[in-house]
Amino acid sequence: MSGLLGSILVNSMHAKTNESERMNRETSQHLFAQAKEVIPGGVNSPVRAFRAVGGDPVFIERGEGAWLIDADGNRYLDLIGSWGPLIMGHAHPRIISAVQAQLARGTTFGAPTALEVELAMEIVKAVPSIEKVRLVSSGTEATMSAIRVARGYTGRTKIVKFEGNYHGHADFLLAKAGSGVATLGLPECAGVPTAVTADTITLPFNDIVALRELFALHGESIACVIVEPVVGNMGCVPPISGFLEALREVTIASRSVLIFDEVMTGFRLSYGGAQARFGVTPDMTTLGKIVGGGMPLGAYGGKREIMDTVAPVGPVYQAGTLSGNPIAVTAGLAMLSLLREGGEALYARLDQVGTTLAENFRESARNANIPVVVNQYGSMLTVFFTEQDSVTDYTAAKSSDTQRFAQWFRALLDSGIYFPPSQFEAAFLSAILTDAEVVLLSETADRAFQSLKE
């Protein structure tokens, strides 16, 4: 970094450091105390509680572009983006305008609308595996429904998932799950009877040998395999060469349904999702996050013959009063329109920013003599504080020094960077990050690494 831009950024960063030393979070602390009296743990989703990183959570008042402003007026460069959906940043004017216009027409009808047909057509056009799609209200609902459909279609009961992959909190999917289960160090989830997970088989992610061995023995009894094509819920863990292709091969041979959980990766890694980027087409796909434009919306879809088993056409029942909600659909349509217009240049920019940040993080860690593995794929990345040479599965991810990660996280937070408050969650980059913000983030992370030596 050199020249006038470098001088301006360094000066602004010093100012931010001095400001962060006086950062006051009294309002957040007061709100958290109130919340704990009426909400379990004071939060409506466990990772938000900051249990894994220490301290009290920050309560957010509003978002502006790539930035968050908390209840005390502190500003943070946001590397979470509401856990993935805000690929165009907070409060994008076109999304806000579209939602406001729809609000004047009504919030929900419990009846079909032209909007949901339009969104369904856009999804079918974009995602290679989807010929028909059903809209729902969350990623959990999408994955739960997709597996029910796969079981109904095949007439089989056994399902296969992978260690560290998180597919929502349906009972039968919480076996060796990532995300908050990994963050909180829970061995299993209380309240889930053993019988419910009896037909859930869990394999190590990226283990092609174990995959082939399982299908050689039990392939004809397996209804489906569900996988995050790029994992985001034990941190960012991309597939090794040949893994997704092996999944496609064994499921075709056994006539099992291959489900890509693209709740995180759909419309993020490319407009057609991870399947378009890797060139591997599953039988079914689940979507969420970006497809809802920041509103609660999910979707599951796939081959016509599979989706025609869903009621009212077929015998597999799934329903939802708020499915295809016009507010969420409107936000999703506005988001997808922005991404279409951005085209390949937008995704190239996301890749470039992700690569730059990953390289800068690695260099900063080396300079501070802090052992890390930085995994990055497109606009998803994770800094694993581990002495492993690589992180390609759940076992390697769990070797991370979570206390050192927590120290690094707090150093970033106190310098105005809002990073995921868990070693086992991916960071998500937005397409609106400027070069100046990338430099600011890199330099702040560098100081955070240096602080770990003290």
Catalytic residues: 166, 261, 289
- Cα–Cα distance measured from residue 337 to residue 342, given in angstroms and rounded to the nearest whole number: 9
Say whether 159 sits in a helix, a strand or coil: strand
CA distances from 110 to 135, 259, 332, 424 (A): 13, 28, 18, 38
CB atoms within 10 A of CB 367: 12
- Cα–Cα distance measured from residue 94 to residue 97, given in angstroms and rounded to the nearest whole number: 5
CB atoms within 10 A of CB 291: 32
- Cα–Cα distance measured from residue 285 to residue 306, given in angstroms and rounded to the nearest whole number: 12
CB proximity list for 51: less than 8 A, separation 6 or greater:
41, 183, 184
Estimate the crossing angle of helix 402-413 against helix 435-451, to 10 degrees.
130
Contacts of 96-100 with C-beta under 8 Å, sequence gap 24+, read: 97/334, 98/330, 98/331, 98/333, 98/334, 99/295, 99/327, 99/330, 99/331, 99/334
Backbone angles phi, psi at 340, to 5 degrees: -60, -45
The closest of 59, 49, 51 to 24, measured between CA atoms, is 59
Tokens of 259: 């489900």
Estimate the crossing angle of helix 326-367 against helix 93-103, to 10 degrees.
160
Backbone angles phi, psi at 54, to 5 degrees: 85, 160
Tokens of 187: 């061995």
* Cα 201 to chain centroid, rounded: 23
Sign of the Cα pseudo-torsion (139, 140, 143, 146, in order): negative
CB atoms within 10 A of CB 3: 7
The closest of 13, 18, 79, 3 to 439, measured between CA atoms, is 13
Say whether 268 sits in a helix, a strand or coil: coil
Say whether 280 sits in a helix, a strand or coil: coil
